[in-house]
Structure 1
Amino acid sequence: MDALRGIAALLVVLFHFDRWALPNLTLWPFDALIGNGYIWVDFFFILSGFVMTHVYRSSFLGGRLGTGGYREFLAARLARIYPLHFATLMILVGLELVKLAVVMSGRAVENQPFTDRQSLEALATNLLLMHGWNLHDDVTWNPPSWSISAEWAVYLISPLVILALDKCGRAAGLLLAAACVACLYVMSLGRPLELDITYDLGVVRCLLGFMIGVVLHGLYRNGLPRRAYGDTALVLATAAGLLPMALDWPDALAIPGLAAIVLIAAGNTGAGASVLRSAPLAALGRLSYSVYLSHVVIMAVLLDGWKFLYRQPFGVGFTQGQSLTALVLMVCLTLACSWVLYRLVEVPGRRLMRGWLMRRGHLPSARSEGVSGYPRTEET
């Protein structure tokens, strides 16, 4: 699961770099596949529903949802997602302060500091993890973090969602998953990038993907024939997820394939599992959250710095070869910075926040099944 998350995060990175930073880059024959990379966010939502059900279902069913148990659950989730979100947000605030200093020195900048996407109002909603709740007219500050805000909204109701769907049989679960895909299709109609639904209906998009993940865990938990988890099935599921993207079909048609990848990979014990457990992919999985939240921050620093130094947008005058070289360097820089953020911010920040929440009584002093009813989930 970690490796899948890492691969999806890297594909989102390629989409953003290709779309926002390198206008002359051509990645034929993968242009459409990379250009539809925003669909991998739905993969995150499906995976989140699956993993949250796997980790917390037994505790929820065991009656751990009183006031204290619900508070513990939310505190654990907040400790997992908030420190890195806050850190990347503060880096972007620092960038705006640099712009402000430049303006005060008498030099012109293209976008005035603390305006538009980087307004102080948007900063407040970002700090509260509410910026993806249809409160703005666009994505703000760190654009990919809209999905973290949407996830937080779904976390608030996820115990009820998991309990409500727990008794779904196989037929009812599949029907519900199909209904979720149909809803995503309807939501995508009339949009230039179809399922690129973010600041407005992003919470609904997240909830639908999360529900698909919960249903998938029910199928996994109740058992499928062994051949359903085989390497051939995993290859077919991957093809079913990638083909609609590569052929520019309606985005919702990729969702069943992405869902199948999650389900089959969870039970696969063959070559697919060996590849996904390999050291490079395991490492990429550990860095996935840092990769996802840091890459646009890195891009913003690079693009603003380039424009300030050379008085023209980054990538506009690049040849195809230069654009491809820039892409490779930007990905390497993202991975390097993500490793630093993971080691210096994400992991210690998570532990510090958990300690603070323990001292305030929102988390118990020991996180074990026998003490709190919840398993240890620091890496989830």
Structure 2
Amino acid sequence: MGRLFALNAATLALLLPLEFLKYFSSAGNTPAFADTNTIGAWFENLFFVQTWFLGHGPSWNTVAWSISAEWAAYILYPALFYILVRCPAIVLVGAAVAGLAWLESTSPSGTLRLTDHGAVLRCLCSFVLGMLTEHASHSPPVRRAVPWLGSGIVIFLAALAALAVIAFGEADWMAVPLFCAVVFGLSVAGPVPTAVMSWRPVHRLGVWSFALYMTHFIVLRTYKVVAFWVFGLWPSPPALVIVSLCGTFALCIAVAWAANRWIERPGYRAMRQLAERIRRSGPPSDPKPVTTPA
């Protein structure tokens, strides 16, 4: 959380004046400070509680909804640890699948969408499935049964299929087994996938991944506001669309690099230093007794 809190605070600090710009310029296709982008939701986002049970849900920096759900899962996980380590794997798989099925049945859209309600429970169910998949990857019988799953082609196709389901599918639950296949494949990856993941550009993108994830929404939203402000509509000629998308992608990478260097890493160091000071301070010592005359 040390890395993410600084990034989150910085993105929210930038989104607030952008919302005021939208308010005073009437740019954009939705009213400013409307729907979930309220001041109360801004503070919920600041402390990563927007997707908790009393929160407004995804708002402001929309992509941070998953960080909020993961934080709740990390807090709840120690309370569930005693149960998780004593349950048979088949029971945990059944409970996780049942939880996802229940979320889909109660979803307002009728499907298990990424930004629907129940993000915390969804995260817990997915977390359990991911842990079981990673644990199974260390089992020699399982590794012998599916040796082909660690090939680069299978990992690439599984990841591509999962993204396609999310982008074009009717329900995101169909992507869950595909994500499990990706986790398993990376755990038993052969020399080719290992070499690709160790390639310096891929490694650098991994280092910048938090910054890229937390800032790309601002870049895209700024582009959206500016496009409506300047042109009054989205760029429509295909050539202009391609050029603008390439430029926006390059800008996302540049902003992620800058955010990692000047926000994420300094923020992480500051949080570590604060935690170390708190750890060293310890509980206050008892005051010495004061002697009084009899």
TM-score normalised to structure 1 length: 0.64
Greater mean alpha carbon deviation, residues 244-253 or residues 282-291 = 244-253
1:242 Cα deviation (Å)?
3.9
In 1, distance between residues paired with 2:147 and 2:197? 14
1:96 pairs with one of 6, 11, 19: 19
Q: Which residue of 2 aligns with 1:299?
A: 220
Q: How many residues of Structure 1 are paired with residues of Structure 2 in the alignment?
A: 276
Q: Which residue of 2 aligns with 1:278?
A: 199
SS at match of 1:361: helix
1:118 Cα deviation (Å)?
2.4
2:65 pairs with one of 126, 139, 146: 146
In 2, distance between residues paired with 1:241 and 1:142? 25
In 1, distance between residues paired with 2:154 and 2:281? 43
Q: Are positions 1:350 and 2:253 aligned together? A: no
Q: Are positions 1:195 and 2:112 aligned together? A: yes
Distance 1:273 1:109, change over 3 A: closer
Do 2:20 and 2:32's aligned partners in 1 also have CA atoms closer than 8 Å? yes
Q: Which residue of 1 aligns with 2:292?
A: none
1:314 pairs with one of 219, 227, 234: 234
Q: Are positions 1:86 and 2:9 aligned together? A: yes
Q: Which residue of 2 aligns with 1:120?
A: 39
Task: Report matched runs for 1:68-79 at 5 Å.
Answer: 78-79=1-2
2:130 pairs with one of 213, 229, 232: 213
In 2, distance between residues paired with 1:262 and 1:284? 18
Do 1:294 and 1:334's aligned partners in 2 also have CA atoms closer than 8 Å? yes
In 2, distance between residues paired with 1:336 and 1:229? 40
Matched letter for residue 208 of structure 1: C
1:298 Cα deviation (Å)?
0.7
Distance 1:258 1:88, change over 3 A: same
Matched letter for residue 78 of structure 2: P
Matched letter for residue 173 of structure 1: A
Q: Which residue of 2 aligns with 1:326?
A: 244
Distance 1:109 1:225, change over 3 A: closer
In 1, distance between residues paired with 2:237 and 2:104? 34
SS at match of 2:263: helix
1:161 Cα deviation (Å)?
3.6
Greater mean alpha carbon deviation, residues 243-252 or residues 288-297 = 243-252
Q: Are positions 1:176 and 2:96 aligned together? A: no
Higher RCO structure (Cα 8 Å, ≥6 apart): 1
In 2, distance between residues paired with 1:230 and 1:148? 33
Query: Alignment identity in percent?
Result: 26
Do 2:19 and 2:32's aligned partners in 1 also have CA atoms closer than 8 Å? yes
CA deviations 1:304-331 (Å, max 9, x no partner) are 1222222x2334xx13333233222211
RMSD: 3.0
Do 2:57 and 2:65's aligned partners in 1 also have CA atoms closer than 8 Å? no
In 1, distance between residues paired with 2:150 and 2:172? 22
In 2, distance between residues paired with 1:360 and 1:347? 20
Matched letter for residue 44 of structure 2: T
SS at match of 1:159: helix
Matched letter for residue 196 of structure 1: R
2:51 pairs with one of 126, 132, 144: 132
In 1, distance between residues paired with 2:17 and 2:66? 22
Unmatched segments (≥5 aa) in structure 2: 283-294
Distance 1:283 1:200, change over 3 A: same
In 2, distance between residues paired with 1:108 and 1:350? 37
Distance 1:174 1:332, change over 3 A: farther
Task: Report matched runs for 1:4-15 at 5 Å.
Answer: none
Do 1:229 and 1:267's aligned partners in 2 also have CA atoms closer than 8 Å? no
Matched letter for residue 129 of structure 1: F
Do 1:229 and 1:268's aligned partners in 2 also have CA atoms closer than 8 Å? no
Unmatched segments (≥5 aa) in structure 1: 1-77, 365-380
In 1, distance between residues paired with 2:8 and 2:147? 37
Matched letter for residue 8 of structure 2: H
Q: Are positions 1:268 and 2:189 aligned together? A: yes
1:129 Cα deviation (Å)?
1.3
SS at match of 2:137: helix
Task: Report matched runs for 1:232-271 at 5 Å.
Answer: 232-234=149-151, 235-236=153-154, 238-240=156-158, 242-243=160-161, 245=164, 248=169, 250-271=171-192
